[in-house]
Structures are given as structure tokens and as C-alpha cells.
Amino acid sequence: QVELVESGGGLVQAGDSLRLSCTAIARGFSMYAKGWFRQTPGKEREFLAAISRGDSSTTVADSVKGRFTISRDNGKNIVYLDIHNLRPEDTAVYFCAVTAAYELPTTEHLYEIWGQGTQVTVSS
């Protein structure tokens, strides 16, 4: 089993860049597809990006394409989300998640294991 811990969130200004990290506590990270989501109070969890379990294939939501990039380091059991040109509407709790059952899942219910989330707050 894999336990996930997100880090890198905090208070930032609009226009800044930020790298979020998701670190796996246990081994076996390479066998999972990995994704990033975000959520604000009263709103459903929004898919952002995913990277395949089988290779380095990625998919990024159209709403954040060009600003958000997902990458991984399986040797270090880390998946990253790089965010550029942050906007106030990016303020949310950001979650990483993994699944061993799908290649490039974009739907919340397809993920098996979730981290606790890291808060990103963007000031104007």
C-alpha cells in the first residue's frame, strides 16, 4: 500500500510559479498512474493532470493546459505538479492520487489512494 503526502503549497502572489510535490511513503510507486486534483469548499473535486503508470504519457485538463505540468520521479517516489502564472482562482486544496487499475484516468472515482492535500492560496 502507498501513503501519499503533498507539500509545497502556501501563500503566493498572482503571477508566481509553484511546484507541488507528492511523496509516497511506501515503495511501489512506479506501478501506479498518478494524478492531481484540486477542490474548493462547496465545489466538486476538479481533475488537473495525470501521468501514466506504463510510460511517461500525460494528460492535462484543458482548463489549465499551458500553465500546469505533471511529472514524476519513480526512483524517488515523487510526483510533481508545476504551476505557472498563478491566478487567484487557482486558490484551492490540491490533492495527489494514484491508481494501479488505469493508464491515464481523469475521473475522481477511478483513483484508489489519496493524499491529505496541500493548500494553495493566491493573492491578487
- pLDDT tens for each residue of 42-96: 999 999 999 998 788 999 999 999 999 999 998 899 999 999 999 999 999 999 9
Q: How far apart are CA 74 and CA 94, in angstroms?
A: 20
Q: How far apart are CA 77 and CA 37, in angstroms?
A: 18
Judge contact between 68 and 60, C-beta under 8 A: yes
* Residue 30's pLDDT band (cuts 50, 70, 90): confident
Judged against a pLDDT cut of 80, whether residue 27 lies above it is answered with: no
Q: How far apart are CA 63 and CA 48, in angstroms?
A: 8
Confidence at residue 83, expressed as pLDDT on a 0 to 100 scale? 98
- Cell 490540491, residue located: 94
